[in-house]
Structure 1
């Protein structure tokens, strides 16, 4: 195995020196790419020459473009309907982001079709696209295996297979699936494997399935500006909008970009912010250039305060008044994080970067901190008291500004007339005028409910008994999958937590029956969670989440056991506790 070492600070050639064709070069210029990163400069020529590649680099060094650009140049849209390039990614989020990058790079290549394939998305969309023909498939190992088992994915024409974040895939338990997919692909395929580390399992995978690969090792770190403060807050998926709203109320910002992962989310989140009274607008890759320029112009002039954007849409965006960048969806690679944060702290100004991190995304936070050498300080979600203090301060400022108005004398006369005519104290009149000006929306938030901290016994950290659950009351929900689909509690928890942003502590007893299952979840599931779970599938079947009827909550023959008097949840709960400790 030949080895090439590169450092992140060494000078790189221009994209025109890498062998890319004119269509891709034009698209890169339009996207604002100036020069390749070291991993791109080393990898692209090798893949274009037909070599197998092992790329060892931290998350976020530009790996996506390193394999996506040569993949697009190698495949031929006129060569049948079977996929010619397959990218395996460990998570749905990364698969979506890689697919969007492919689509952006393929903008100048008519007839090039890229399909994301992952769990939680309906099979119908995927089957229709595969039947019409796609050149590139980007998917998670589990769903790719489903299609191979069903015979709906043809790998006979595959020319390039990419393993992205290979170490992460193996650590998540996909080793067997990955090897099965590699074996199912043609023997003459080209393979590119990218990993942040080289554990023995990755070394064995490379030695078994790659042919005399070139190993590229990237040294050095990706850095961010020193005049930007980096913070993060832990938040569940359903909490995100409320958390962002409170940040907007309490942070003293001038202009802000809020980053999300998908085009649809830009519109959805912008509408939610507008409904809450904020000056927000969306910008994404589907937006026509005149509209894009008009929106950016409004941001520059101060007519617009908040821009909700995707990574691709924000490339090349240069607005000095951006004081804050918020990662509503934390990026799955460090390069995207660095590009996003680069939108603030410009022209010598200080900047603020705030990232939302769900419990399942802790590893992304660690990757970003490790790769950039930058600590993202923890911050709490602003409390109701914080919001109320800010609102009262702004109310004071508004009164102070009004007291300096030249029109104040006229309104003094109006108030004096009312006081004399109706014998009402001046303070009451001032309060009534403030109430009228405030309108229907309350000036102050209700106090946050007191949350009792969950006690975590010392022995639980060492693998001992699971602590008693504290938190919101639970209720039974019915999902339309059961023993016939050969599911286990692990399948249910994994799907509902991944798609709905739930935490393990949100789950209670799980009762798997013949054709359905009963799951204890928080009694008041937020609307966002219901929407996120609406299209969720387990083993290819829609779960059809619904509140369980009282009758269905009674244990029947399918459950296999009945509690004795005073037994409560007993047996089933113990089984689930053992699974959670697993």
Structure 2
């Protein structure tokens, strides 16, 4: 044995970190053997009573990094809350709560999740009985503090989990209020994927000589996830997704979109095509949300259409595929999204739809993750039909093993005796009955190609000036000129001082208002507002959706414009 082999250090275990016997026993029960990097570096200083700032992303094991030392130091005789964990979303709060309960298995530790959408009654009765750990979202915690129903006067530990996300979601004021209104001698642990100035300021103001720990491993994606992308135009996406669903062998799937409205719209379109799909977004009631996730876990539901925020904390092992129907605008969101698959060591598939104008986002993701994505082709009609025929064969094979076959064999034999018809014709007739009016095979038809592949005659002639101005993409202005749809001029409350560009206006209004990009005419960006040509008759649903639409963080406050038309041809809108 060489000298190097003799002196090589033994791997660190949880017992080496100073945790007590009760916690070590619980860890053994859940099968944890070795601490992750964030756990190895964070647990000892937390056990020693130091404040900690941990820079680590989702999937690094940070929940155990703060939960284990808290559980090790709880006083089970105290009935008022000793530990408070703030999380940005209900899903993450529930996930953290479940982790605490798992690590505290066999003990008398009481953990309470507190979040919006859940009835106050359950939370109030638990608080009256006494709880040791509260895990909640800032908004609902503030509600309890305002009502006087949550006593934090004896709080010993406070954790900010995914602090950067909480600030992005507008919880900065609530978080600061909670930090300021809890005991000065509490121990604070702050975990964040990034360290923006606001987080740095929070740390300096509310933490005492914190130990800063950085774990870098998660701009890299998991090696067990295969990553592909498909170049397709916006109108092509639904048909492309439908074909992929037909040919891919998937168990459960999450389809990520950018807006709440798109979750409902896409889920409805998928259900109309025969797929088991449901939407999850911030407007879905918590009871319905939990029911939907449980259906996904139990295979009663196959496809979840979700926004980024709604999917935070979602951990379902049977998710084999993630589809970025709308590619995310930053690499961190991409890594987080595709991390919903490939769980527990299983393999996963990630497919991203990329329009020709979004190729730069693809390049950013590849650069940040240091991993190229593989381009895939749109499944052809032959691919889809081969899959359908194979599925039909499997149905026949499975049916042949059914105990009901003997009964129907007698029924068919009786028919053959009464009618002089070949057996294969009877089988074909039964297949017609089974299939109904829906054709078994996909009919060949024209497939819309990405804009980069369209023939030159589909584009405006070089040097010509499009009638519709800057707002509509080039390939769609020609379609606008050929359309008789009446247009009107609308005013929105964002302009040059908000540093907006036509593409931002088109993207926000199209996504939120469920409009096509071909519905846009001329866009005139002025100092403090912009004029946009849109269809003269917008539906009530579109008006309602656009009331909440923001561009560059500013509400657009869409309204009919009373001044001169943006493009000189519009008429007043009707709604």
TM bucket (normalised to shorter chain) is 0.5 to 0.7
Q: What is the number of equivalent residue pairs in this alignment?
A: 406
Higher relative contact order (CA 8 A, sep 6+): 1
Matching of residues 32-431 of structure 1 within 5 Å: 32-80=31-79, 82-110=80-108, 112-221=109-218, 226=223, 228-230=225-227, 250-252=247-249, 267-269=294-296, 273=300, 311=315, 325-326=320-321, 341=342, 343=344, 351-354=347-350, 373-374=370-371, 389-395=386-392, 422=419, 428-431=425-428
For residues 182 and 265 of structure 1, the distance between their equivalents in structure 2, rounded to whole angstroms, comes to 34
Counterpart check, 1:461 vs 2:459: no
Cα distance between partner residues in 1 of 2:70 and 2:335: 22
CA 142–23 in structure 1, closer or farther in 2 if over 3 Å, else same: same
Q: Partner residue of 1:508?
A: 542
Counterparts of 2:376 and 2:146, CA distance in 1: 46
Counterpart-to-counterpart distance in 1, 2:540 and 2:44: 49
Distance in 2 separating the partners of 1:185 and 1:141: 14
Provide the C-alpha distance between the structure 2 equivalents of 1:366 and 1:34, rounded to a whole number of angstroms.
38
Find the structure with the greater CA-based Rg: 2
2:498 alignment counterpart? none
8 A contact 1:24–1:69 mirrored in 2: yes
Q: Distance in 1 between matches of 2:154 and 2:363?
A: 38
Which runs of 5 or more residues in structure 2 are unaligned?
1-8, 231-238, 255-279, 281-285, 304-313, 354-361, 401-407, 451-469, 474-500, 517-538, 550-571
TM-score (norm 1): 0.55
Question: Do 1:460 and 1:466's aligned partners in 2 also have CA atoms closer than 8 Å?
Answer: no
Residue 159 and residue 520 in structure 1: after superposition, are their counterparts in 2 closer, same or farther (change >3 A)?
closer
Q: How far off is 1:434 after superposition? A: 2.7
CA contact (8 A) 1:84 1:136 kept: yes
Structure 1 gaps, min length 5: 1-9, 234-241, 279-309, 315-321, 346-350, 358-364, 404-410, 473-504, 512-517, 522-565, 570-582
Question: Residues 157 and 187 of structure 2 are in contact (CA less than 8 Å); yes or no, is this contact kept in structure 1?
Answer: yes
Counterpart of 2:175 in 1: which secondary structure?
A: helix
Q: CA–CA distance in 2 between the matches of 1:83 and 1:367?
A: 44
**Corresponding residue number in structure 2 for 1:525:** none
Shift of 1:208: 0.9
Deviations 1:484-541 (A, max 9, x none): xxxxxxxxxxxxxxxxxxxxx9963449xxxxxx9999xxxxxxxxxxxxxxxxxxxx
Describe the shift of the 1:372–1:108 C-alpha distance in structure 2 as closer, same or farther (beyond 3 A). Answer: farther
8 Å contact kept, 2:341–2:348:
no
Cα deviation for residue 121 of structure 1 reads 2.0
The CA distance in 2 between the partners of 1:506 and 1:381, in whole Å, is 35
Deviations 1:331-374 (A, max 9, x none): 999799769626566xxxxx4434899xxxxxxx9999898655
Change (3 A) 1:251 1:172: same
| 1:333/1:23 CA distance change after superposition, 3 Å | farther
Pick closer, same or farther for the CA change 1:446–1:118 going to 2, 3 Å: farther
Cα distance, 1:28 vs structure 2: 1.6
CA distance in 1, matches of 2:224, 2:294: 31
Q: 1:457–1:467: 8 Å Cα contact kept in structure 2?
A: no
Q: Is the 8 A contact 2:381 2:442 kept in 1?
A: yes
Maintained 8 Å contact 1:43/1:67: yes
Shift of 1:44: 0.6
Deviation of 1:178 (Å): 0.9
Q: Distance in 2 between matches of 1:167 and 1:356?
A: 25
CA distance in 1, matches of 2:88, 2:363: 16
Q: CA RMSD in A?
A: 5.7
The question of whether the paired residues in 2 share the 8 Å contact of 1:245 and 1:273 is answered with: no
Is the 8 Å Cα contact of residues 166 and 202 (structure 1) preserved in structure 2?
A: yes
Task: Please state how far the C-alpha of 1:271 moved relative to its aligned partner.
Answer: 5.6
Distance (Å, rounded) in 1 between the aligned partners of 2:352 and 2:86 = 26
Give me the whole-angstrom Cα distance separating, in 2, the residues matched to 1:265 and 1:49: 42
Q: What SS class does the counterpart of residue 219 from structure 1 fall into?
A: coil
Compared CA separation, residues 220 and 395, structure 1 to 2 (3 A) = closer
SS of structure 1 residue aligned to 2:116: coil
Deviates most, 259-268 or 192-201: 259-268
Change in 2 beyond 3 A, CA 1:246/1:507:
same
Q: Distance in 2 between matches of 1:368 and 1:140?
A: 30
Per the alignment, residue 460 of structure 2 pairs with none
Tell me the secondary structure at the aligned position of residue 50 of structure 1.
coil
How far the C-alpha of 1:122 sits from its partner, in A, is: 2.0
Contact map agreement 1:224 1:341 (CA 8 A) in 2: no
